Amino acid sequence: MTDYQKALNLIRQYDTIVLHRHNSPDGDALGAQIGLKHILADNFPEKKVFMTGDAAGRYAFMDGAVMDEVPDEVFPQALSIILDCGDAELVSDERYTKAAASLRFDHHLYKGDFTDLDIVASDFESCCGLLTDFALSEGLRILQPAALALYTGMVTDSGRFRYDSTTPRTLRLAAELLERGIDTNALYLQLYAADIEEVKRLAAFIQKIRFTEGGVAYLYNTKEEVAALGVSTFDVSRGMIGIMADLKGVDIWANFTEEGEVIYAELRSSLYNINPVAVKYGGGGHMKASGATLRSRDEVTAMLKDLDEIRRSSHV
């Protein structure tokens, strides 16, 4: 039996299913959660399906992005499905540990199992792509609302189908979703149109870009700066990392953002596997996109040295 068949069997066995994903959700985490909720409703209308987790933030525009209040009593009879989450500590709603059974679909680099059946396929650009593959392989019906949510995850996690995680399979699966009738103009407006204040803020961050001696581009954002801008830490940390992506000669870039006693580090590369550096500081993610939570400015300096070292050792 394949893992997909095992997953489908688990889904069939339970009348109640709770859908989780990583905290501070992005388009892929929410797309997977909302998309699977629709798939379950459309294929197993008798099942009760809940979505649990923190609020959708800048992805609140997505249809059905409002989370459910899930009572404690639900879990002992339920199957918890965790989506787009590579780390037990990041699961939205830790009550999955109280569920009768648990299942995980993920595409982060494997760091170990934490559910009864972990389906981790890091060769997928997005968890939504993996779920689409699962649904199509198992003959589950995908209707338009599910397709829209899943497509949103695929397009955001693949950087508009641009990162090299994008494969022929990515586009074949995306095409299947487009067949269901997605208004891509409307979607891209919601995802990418910015108001003038946002563009000005972007310009301020662009002015702040600095470089290490080894040629790594980075931003360092203090608590005070974040507070003065009136935006969330997440919008700075995840939202501003991309501004360094297309600089000529830059193949590793990093964004450090203070919050409380910690500093969030986001690391990206167009060429190198920067994941081991994130893991060294307790983080994780993907080969070319990872993050970690640092404790001090010294750790920031040390991490930048490690990133410099990646470039130096591959240039000899």
Binding site for Mn ion (CB under 5 A): 28, 84, 127, 157
Q: How far is the CB of 50 from Mn ion (least distance, A)?
A: 21
Q: How many CA atoms lie within 13 A of 156 on its CB side?
A: 27
Distance CA 82, CA 88 (A): 10
Length of the chain counted residue by residue? 316
Q: Cβ closer to Mn ion: 109 or 263?
A: 109
Tokens of 159: 């950087």
Which residue's structure tokens are 């964004």? 255
Q: Cβ closer to Mn ion: 51 or 217?
A: 51
Q: Cβ closer to Mn ion: 28 or 93?
A: 28
Q: How far is the CB of 170 from Mn ion (least distance, A)?
A: 13
Q: Cβ closer to Mn ion: 28 or 251?
A: 28
Give Cα 112 to chain centroid, integer Å.
Answer: 18
255 in Cβ contact with 266 (< 8 Å): yes
Task: Please name the helix (run of DSSP H) or strand (run of DSSP E) that holds residue 203, with its range, or none.
Answer: helix 196-207
Q: Cβ closer to Mn ion: 187 or 302?
A: 187
Q: Cβ closer to Mn ion: 38 or 107?
A: 107
Q: Cβ closer to Mn ion: 28 or 266?
A: 28
Q: How far is the CB of 269 from Mn ion (least distance, A)?
A: 17
Q: How far is the CB of 222 from Mn ion (least distance, A)?
A: 29
94 in Cβ contact with 52 (< 8 Å): no
Q: How far is the CB of 83 from Mn ion (least distance, A)?
A: 9
170 in Cβ contact with 28 (< 8 Å): no
266 in Cβ contact with 291 (< 8 Å): yes
Distance CA 39, CA 140 (A): 7
Q: Cβ closer to Mn ion: 84 or 93?
A: 84
Residues 6 or more apart whose CB falls under 8 angstroms from that of 112 comprise: none
Task: Please name the helix (run of DSSP H) or strand (run of DSSP E) that holds residue 11, with its range, or none.
Answer: helix 3-13
65 in Cβ contact with 34 (< 8 Å): yes
Q: How far is the CB of 30 from Mn ion (least distance, A)?
A: 10
- Closest residue to Mn ion, judged by C-beta, is 28
Distance CA 82, CA 33 (A): 9
Q: How far is the CB of 296 from Mn ion (least distance, A)?
A: 29
Q: How far is the CB of 300 from Mn ion (least distance, A)?
A: 25
